[in-house]
Structure 1
Amino acid sequence: MQPPESRDHLSECLRLLPALSDLIIAVQSFRGRWSAISSTLNRLRVEDIAGFQSNDLSEDFFRSLSETLQLGLSLSGQCRAVHPPAGRLRTQSELDALAASLEQLASDSDVLIRTGEILQSPVGASRREALRAEARMLITRLQVGTMASRLAALESLMAILCSNEKNVLIAVGQGLVAALLGLLDFSTLSHGGAREKTVAAIARVCSVETCRHLLISEGVPLVSHLSRVLAEPDGGGSSKEKACAVLQSLTLQRDIAMTVGFGGSIFLLLETCRFGTPHAQATAAGVLKNLASLPELHHNFMEDSALPVLIQILQSGTVPAQENAAACLANLVAGEESQNQTIRLAAFQEGALDCIRNYLDTSAADLRNLEPAIKLLRNFSSSSFFADVILSAGFLRHVILALDCSSGGTRTEAARTISELAAACSKPTRDGVEFAVPRLISMLEAKTAEEKEASVKALASLMGFTLCRKLMKKDEKGIFNVVTLLDPTILNLEKKYAVSVLLAVSQTRKSRKLVVAAGARGFLPWLVEMQVSTQ
């Protein structure tokens, strides 16, 4: 049943449509434009929309259409003369506006026809079904009408999305992602504020992990819109914060990261790091961290002069920004390629190690994450020159203390760093490397194979030092745990490091008895068969 107001607008549309079509035949000026308008009128399936149950969307559509058709009648009357009374320029401008309005209404009618059946109000529906119906209605509103009406729908939808994570899943199931991308397309030229609110909605969807694959599937179009947000002036920086938050999640996927990196967004992200809000700076550095994990993009970082910006953040940014900047630098200086050597030297010259010292010295005060800083030291240490510099500067103490961290990732990075630094320890007692041995032995009981391997590899690298070897020999439990690592059922763990440690401590009869008592003999046939060596 159509409400009286809706019926009035509908009957007005049904009267005006044929009337305008008849008048178009008689126009004498701008016939080409009127011909295009006539084609658009034929796409307006008013009777089909009237066949659905009346709702706010159809009422708004009929009202807007009747107003536009009345304007069309007035203009067609003026165009019956070869020279319109209002002048050709003004009439042409008004005709263009009329054509754009009708084109939008035709597009709206397509959406209403497509969604008409599912927008029928459910009778006796459960609370969940009622919420799903409301979400469908609001998502449809995002696709029809004026920008003001779309923004009103978006605000209502955001209230639903922010109230409960399950509501996000419901809305996504009703086609929210595609509607938001369509709204970005619609708002690109007409309303900058709409883009900010739309990006905020996308960020809310991205915050639900099970929904991210839908954003990833949008690929290039979504990245293009987010990059445009980064490129435009932004007073409060809120939209840039949200755009970076979305990109930080999406660039964990290699394909998306490559699209962002090769699309010119590295420069935009660096600009956000320089001039954005503290939160935008931190999230932009997080995106850069993900991009820097791809060696193919390192050249782009250097072309955009990324190192000074990253080191400035590492020196004076917020704690989250510093962590992301350190992780980004760690990724950039990783590897043994000539390009990585160049980046390593450039980072050193920019003062990266001094910033890391300050970062580590202040870490105890604010309980910041040490893993990215220790990883950066490890990647520097893969070069013998920088390993000497790091030891001479007293960084080994920080690395050894990091072995006591509650974070398994930090302990693992610290153990790997010790493996790199051990080769440069000419005087181990001076450097204090022996203090790492008890901590590394404790790590042999870690839960993850990754941490166990890092610890036994570090121990193997230290067995060339007499003092470290003596400490290992005295620890019966440690020897037992090293022998345990030979078990073939422990997967994803290189056995050669355990073999190296056991060979080093088996130089005396007492030590050999401990190794045998721990069960090493039982693993010998398997080790021989697998041709495990210490090389």
Structure 2
Amino acid sequence: MTIPENDPITLSNNLLHSLLDQQIPLIQSFKGKWSLIKSKLADLQAQLTDFSEFQTSITNPLALDLLHSVSQTLNDALLLAEKCLDTNLTEGKLKTQSDIDSILAKLNQNVRDWSTESKNAAMDTVLSLIEEDDKNVLIAVAQGIVPVLARLLDCNSCFDIKEKSVAAISRISMVDSSKHVLIAEGLLLLNQLIRILESGSWFAKEKACVALQALSFSRENARAIGSRGGICSLLEICQAGTPSSQGLASGVLRNLAVFEEIRENFIEENAVFVLIGLAASGTALAQENAIGCLCNLVKEDENLKLLIVKEGVVECLRNFWDSCPPARSLEVAVELLRELASNQAIAEGLVSDGFVVRLVAVLSCGVLVAVEEKEAAAKSIVIACVACCGHLKKLMEMDVEGSKKLLDGLGRGKIWVFCQAVAWT
């Protein structure tokens, strides 16, 4: 029988059908050994069915080599089965028995190639390679690894393989030029990542959060995460997760809160209280992301601004500010201050809490000069200052430290101490 070069999966399935349904039931010689072969063929058939669901199963060179090996073994088994349909063995008992043992050994190897142990070993190799260099990530993606990883998360893989698969997806998500391939997997991948947030190990949850941070910049993906319980799971991690997982989960929430249409999901899950708690006691990264998330949530929502102030966000903001965070982290604090100060009632409290003095200190000490996005940061600070501008004259009359200097800077339309010649419009 000639084995065609194309479609090895269909060929192997046809050979399996012939062996299991037509030939083996009629065999007269070495029935015991053929019973063992039948059991191996059933295992191979199940593995082949799983493998056929991978989109790249007949295009990857390594996969093709494996499939051709399987089809060759099945073809040899079919030829041998035909010889055993009669008790009169033309090639003799010893030769036929040796051939049967050889087929059984080949089938054992084929089944082992598709086994959990082999998949585990392959995943170890993949992880080792992609952790080494971004170039290896690009090569793996070009070879079609992303659909394979998504499928491994979706199927009945063992715990170890799922953990390694989500770790690989996490690593791929960190390479900008590969993110579009993850996005292309759509709901299949998102659903599996959300499921990991619900029931995975803390290691797997952290890796899922890394991947979701890359995927949650898309409006469509944000909607999908919000509508599938992802926000609830992320908030649970923020409440009870490891310090590392809290920082990552709050980063995903910060991305999601940008999209106005899913902010209602945050309200339904009482996210404000969780985020304020995290801003008060989380790691530096978790605090920064929690403040950033709150900043995104309260945009153009005066009631929500009043709520977070009532729940203690000003104290959190003050403590975060005074903890001397890195310059880039301080920008998010300034952004939230700007949003809150746009509300007349809140602005008065911010002034009395000493935030004008803090702004002056930021502008005077040059803490943000090293930040690359100088112009964007300068504009944010200016807007925050302008929000308090209505109170500055009164403060100046009260001789509050720094108020005259800040008012003069705003009047000129520039903040020269922030960075040279950075104007705002």
Query: Which residue of 311, 334, 337 corresponds with 1:377?
Result: 337
TM-fit CA distance, 1:425 = 3.2
1:434 maps to a residue whose letter is: K
Aligned position for 2:392: 425
Q: Does structure 2 retain, via aligned residues, the 8 Å contact 1:270–1:306?
A: yes
Gaps of 5+ in 1: 1-12, 28-66, 75-96, 122-140, 454-492, 494-535
Percentage of identical aligned residues: 34
Q: Which residue of 2 aligns with 1:38?
A: none
Give the corresponding residue for 1:442. 416
Cα pair distance change 1:69/1:274, threshold 3 Å: farther
User: For residues 377 and 33 of structure 2, what CA distance do their matches in structure 1 show?
Assistant: 65
* Distance in 2 (alpha carbons) for counterparts of 1:185 and 1:154: 16
The corresponding residue for 2:164 is 197
Q: Tell me if 1:401 matches 2:361.
A: yes
- Check if 1:102 corresponds to 2:67: no
Which residue in 2 is equivalent to 1:180?
149
Are 2:378 and 2:418, in contact at CA under 8 Å, matched by a contact in 1?
Answer: no
Of 400, 413, 422, the residue aligned with 2:380 is: 413
SS in 1 for 2:304: helix
Give the Cα–Cα distance (whole angstroms) in 2 for the partners of residues 168 and 227 of structure 1.
Answer: 23
Change (3 A) 1:416 1:192: same
For residues 229-283 of structure 1, the C-alpha deviation after alignment (integer angstroms, 9 at most, x for no partner) is 000052xx11111110111111112221222122211110000111111111001
- Identify which of structures 1 and 2 has the higher relative contact order when contacts are C-alpha pairs closer than 8 Å and 6+ apart: 2
AA of the residue aligned to 2:403? V
SS at match of 1:158: helix
Q: Is it true that 1:359 corresponds to 2:353 in the alignment?
A: no
Per-residue deviation, 1:380: 0.6
Q: In the alignment, which of 387, 394, 400 is matched to residue 347 of structure 2? A: 387
How far, CA to CA, are the matches of 1:109 and 1:182 in structure 2?
11
Aligned-residue offset at 1:101: 5.1
Q: TM-score, normalised by structure 2?
A: 0.73
**Structure 2, gaps ≥5 residues long:** 1-12, 67-109
CA distance, structure 2, for counterparts of residue 282 and residue 377 of structure 1: 21
1:387 and 1:221, CA in 2 relative to 1: closer, same or farther beyond 3 A? same
1:162 to 2:131 alignment: yes
Q: CA deviation at 1:146?
A: 2.0
Secondary structure at the counterpart of residue 370 of structure 1: helix
Q: How many residues align?
A: 348
Give a deviation string over 1:129-183, Cα, whole Å, max 9, x none. Answer: xxxxxxxxxxxx9xx7122211110101111111111111111111111111121
Aligned to 1:228: 195
Alpha carbons of structure 1 residues 434 and 410: separation in structure 2 relative to 1, 3 Å: same
- Give distance in 1, aligned partners of 2:380 and 2:245: 28
Structure 1 residue 194 displacement after superposition: 1.7
* Pair 1:148 & 2:117 matched: yes
**Corresponding letter in the other structure for 1:442:** W
- Decide which structure has the larger Cα Rg and report it: 1
Equivalent in 210, 216, 228 of residue 183 of structure 2: 216
Q: CA offsets per residue over residues 196-221 of structure 1, 9 Å max, x none?
A: 11010001111111111111111211
Give yes or no for contact 2:60–2:143 (8 Å, CA) kept in 1: no
Name whichever of 270-279 and 255-264 sits farther off: 255-264
The answer as to whether partners of 1:443 and 1:452 remain within 8 angstroms in 2 is: no
The answer for the alignment partner of 1:509 in structure 2 is none
Match of 1:6 in 2: none
